[in-house]
Amino acid sequence: MESYLLDWANLLLRWVHVITAIAWVGSSFYFVFLDSSLTPPQDEDLKRQGVSGELWAVHGGGFYHPVKFLGAPPQLPKHLHWFYWESYSTWLSGFSLFTVSYLWSAGTYLIDKSVMDWSPNAAIAVALAFLVVFWLAYDGICRVFGQRKNGDAIVGALLAVLVVMAAWLACHWFAGRAAFLLVGAMIATSMSANVFFWIIPGQRTVVADIKAGKPVDPIHGKRGKQRSVHNTYFTLPVLFAMLSGHYSFTYTHPQNWLVLVGMMFAGAAIRQFFVLRHGFKLGRNAHPWPYALAGILAIVALLVWLKPAPQTTPVATNSGATNAVSTRAGGQISYKTLQAVLEQRCYMCHGAEVQMKNVRLDSPEAVKLHAQAVFQQVVVTRAMPMNNATAITEAERGLVKQWYEDGAALN
């Protein structure tokens, strides 16, 4: 029953997380586009009001005319829309999902004993420390260097070093799948912390000063924009980290930290292309195609690097770990032969006592029901057994492959 309830919690939290993330990323991308696409106002009345930029757009059968004030508007409206619940909801749902999916069963999902053999409590504590320490280090870099001359370049370089260090540590301490997700969660936490600690407080200070008739300090706007721009560059790397768990060829590679860093670099470079593209259309920048090319070349390089070498299918023998015999009935691997592998490698999580993901594999009928999933998880993605906790051999994976491709015999 616990596994069943956890699956429901995982499903619902994942659903909410995706919905809120779409809202947050969508609004973030829109405002970066808007800020990059503003043109000086032509109307004299707008100039007198202090408008620094305007944009005309058409969407959904209507015309829109957003404007941006250089400082304080002549008068604050009665209803002022704030953009922060998208961020907070995304982080809260994401952290809850991380707790249910990884921290709740840290011994299974967070720890790979071939990488680091430690207790679940220690792994949980270090994983949570990643979220906090990265934010403190990143925030410290922004505080010290953010407002200096060439501060953006300095912050960017130091931040890149920080991410590479975190990726290396995570991939050498945690199971690969968990490490990728943890690095993504670490960066996403800093994104939401930017909103909570800097962007929204700065905006509240500006609004309070306007209402009190005080002069507005432009530093709040500069800091808020700086953190907002950081967030937009974080977005694509974070999205890759969150999606990578479905593609085990990335996080199971011996140098998986380089795969993670490479894909994050590609995401940031491609995002830079889109950010600068808006300015190019207005004649402000040179064409940013080198950034897109750099991102694409990084992905192509990883694609070539990760290409699996051709392998012959190994066959389990009597000397194998399961003592399985590669006998064929009518040209097929027999179910009895397959069962020996399942019993030793799969029953502990998918047997009579425990049914992870509500999957049982301890009967011919159950195996027939999940035959394609077994093939996909064991042979294609190699995601199962989780972190290879039961030490399945290559010969046994090859046996599963033969069994499925021969027709998944149940006799």
Supply the DSSP string of 140-201, one letter for each residue: HHHHHHTTSTTHHHHHHHHHHHHHHHHHHHHHHHS-HHHHHHHHHHHHHHHHHHHIIIIIHH
Q: For 329, how many CA atoms within 13 A lie in the half-sphere containing its CB? A: 12
Number of H helices and E strands in the chain, helices first, is: 17, 6
342-362: pLDDT as tens digits: 888 888 888 877 777 678 888
3-state secondary structure of 375: helix
Report pLDDT digits (tens) over 42-61. 999 999 999 999 999 999 98
Residue position matching structure tokens 């990335």? 250
Angle subtended at Cα 334 by Cα 328 and Cα 336, rounded to the nearest 5 degrees: 135
In angstroms, the CA 79 to CA 281 distance is 33
The helix (run of H) or strand (run of E) holding residue 54 is: strand 51-54
Residue whose pair of structure tokens reads 């060829």 in the numeric block: 249
How confident is the model at residue 327, as a pLDDT?
45
pLDDT at residue number 355: 72
Q: Write the CB contacts of 175 (distance below 8 Å, at least 6 apart in sequence).
A: 109, 110, 111, 112, 115, 386, 387
What is the distance between the alpha carbons of residues 226 and 154, in angstroms, rounded to a whole number? 13
Q: What is the pLDDT of residues 322-342, one digit of tens each?
A: 444 444 444 567 888 888 888
pLDDT tens over the chain, length 411 residues: 567 788 888 889 999 999 999 999 999 999 999 988 999 999 999 999 999 999 999 999 899 999 998 778 888 888 899 999 999 999 999 999 999 989 988 888 898 888 898 999 999 999 999 999 999 999 999 999 988 888 899 999 999 999 999 999 999 999 899 999 999 999 999 999 999 999 999 999 999 998 888 888 889 988 999 999 999 999 999 999 999 988 888 988 889 999 999 999 999 999 999 989 877 777 777 889 999 999 999 999 999 999 877 655 444 444 444 444 444 444 567 888 888 888 888 888 888 777 776 788 888 888 888 888 888 888 877 778 877 778 888 888 888 888 888 888 877
Residue 192: per-residue pLDDT: 97
Per-residue confidence (pLDDT) for residue 285, from 0 to 100: 77
The reported pLDDT for the residue numbered 323 is: 44
CA distance 44 to 51: 10
The backbone torsions φ and ψ at residue 96, rounded to the nearest 5 degrees and listed phi first, read -65, -40
Which of 112, 108, 353, 394 is closest to 361 using CA atoms? Answer: 353
Question: What are the DSSP calls for 268-313, one per residue?
Answer: HHHHHHHHHHHHHHTTSS---HHHHHHHHHHHHHHHHHTPPPP---
Model pLDDT, residue 2: 67
Cβ pair 360, 366 in contact under 8 A: yes
C-alpha distance from residue 174 to each of 103, 111, 124, 245 (Å): 12, 5, 10, 14
- Between 200-212 and 219-243, two packed helices, what is the crossing angle to 10 degrees? 150
What is the structure's pLDDT at 330? 47
| Helix (H) / strand (E) containing 51 | strand 51-54
pLDDT digits (tens, 9 = 90+) for 365-409: 888 888 888 888 888 777 788 777 788 888 888 888 888 888 888
Our measurement of the distance from residue 234's CA atom to the centroid of its chain's CA atoms, rounded to an integer in Å, reads 10
d(CA 71, CA 27): 22
Whose CA is closest to 132, among 198, 192, 199, 203? 192
